[in-house]
Structure formats: C-alpha cells, structure tokens
Structure 1
Amino acid sequence: MGGPNLEIFKFSLYLFVPIVALVHFGDPEWYRDTVVPYRNKLFPSLDRTIQHIPTDQSGIREEIARIKAERLAKRVQREAEDNGPKP
C-alpha cells in the first residue's frame, strides 16, 4: 500500500505530536497566563467557600440555620427593593 516512507511518517507523527503537546501545554508560563485566569472565573474564591465543614449534628444545624437566615435576609431586602417608592 503505502510503503516504508508512509510508515516512517506515521511513526514520526505518532511520536512527535504528544511531545509537542507536552512541551506547549506543560509550559508554566502558558499555564499561568491561560489556565489560572479561567480557573478564577470558573471557581469561587477561597473567601466565598466554606473552609471548615461541620461534622457533628449540632454544627450542621447551626450552619443550616445561618444559611437560611442569610437567604431570608436577602429575600426581605429584594422584596423591599421591589416594593419601594414608585414614580
């Protein structure tokens, strides 16, 4: 069919494509310039995440109560803004 030249070309392609990909995508500068900004857009910052997850039942109940209170406060504030003075 293709002969030995085709086999050499295919072998070199199979060998060099992964090497070139590793060299390009493994560069720390490329990672810092491309991946880190996208990661910051995709995932919330550490101050917005819960760092200590409660393990006992009382801690879980307190956390649920805190979350419900925050949601209720936001809802009341949103309703107050919606029912505010109208021209």
Structure 2
Amino acid sequence: MAGPNLELFKFGVYLFFPLAVMVHYGSPQWYSENVLPIRDQFWPKEESLYRPPRNSEDVKAALDEMKAKRLARREARLKEQADELSSPSASVSTLATDSAWKKQDESQPSRISSLIEDKKSQRLV
C-alpha cells in the first residue's frame, strides 16, 4: 500500500481538477474570446425558428394556410394530369405504365405473404 499521502493526492486531483476546468472555461474573458465570435454558426437566428400557434386564432390561420397550400398543389397536379391526357403520346405511355403496374400488383401478394410469414417466424412465444 502506498499510504495516506497517495490517497490525499488522489482526493485533491478528483476534487480540484473539475473545479479548475469550470473556472477556466467559465471565465467571461474566455467566453467572449472563444464562444461569441462563432456562436451564430451553431444556433439559428431567432427569426428563422418555427413558432407554433399558441391560441385558437393562430391555429385556425395555420390550418387555413395549410389547406390553401394543399389545394394549390392539388390544382397543379390536376392541371398537369389534364395536360398529359390531352397530349397524343400520352395514351401509349399510359398503356405501358398500366401493364407494368398490373405485373407489379400480381407479384405483390406473394411478396406481402412472404413478409408476413417472416414476421410470424420471428415472433417469440
């Protein structure tokens, strides 16, 4: 055994090392020199953060905005589909894609059933 002096040294290291680290890195001078210049690289600006609605009027406004966006996307999609259907080459391409979907749908049940069987075999009773 090394004796009580070693124990006192270890106690001093265990106690004062964390305190020295906290004093060094907690210093206002160190913070202003090392943290403040690069702080904006790590945290986003306050203006760019998402603010969730806090009252019922804000919730209704957010819902109306989401509904308007969804309807605009739907209208654009319907317009695009109408343009595709009106073009003469669309009938040939849709027939090809329809046959590909039918082939995929035929292989789908066997694939799903194999996945179900795999899950059943993995269960622990």
TM-score by length of 1: 0.57
Structure 1: give runs of 5+ residues left out of the alignment.
73-87
Aligned-pair CA distance for 1:63: 5.0
Structure 2: give runs of 5+ residues left out of the alignment.
74-125
Do residues 22 (structure 1) and 22 (structure 2) align?
yes
Q: How does 1:1-87 map to 2 (within 5 A)?
A: 1-50=1-50, 52-55=51-54, 56=56, 57-64=59-66
TM-superposition CA deviations, 1:27-75 (whole Å, max 9, x none): 112223333344311221112124x532333122145468x59xx8xxx
Aligned-pair CA distance for 1:6: 0.6
TM-score by length of 2: 0.43
- Which structure would you say has the larger RCO, counting Cα contacts within 8 Å and 6 or more residues apart? 1
Same amino acid, percent of matched pairs: 38
Q: CA RMSD in A?
A: 2.8
More helix by share: 2
State the number of aligned residues: 68
Q: Specify the code of the residue in structure 1 equivalent to 2:23.
A: V
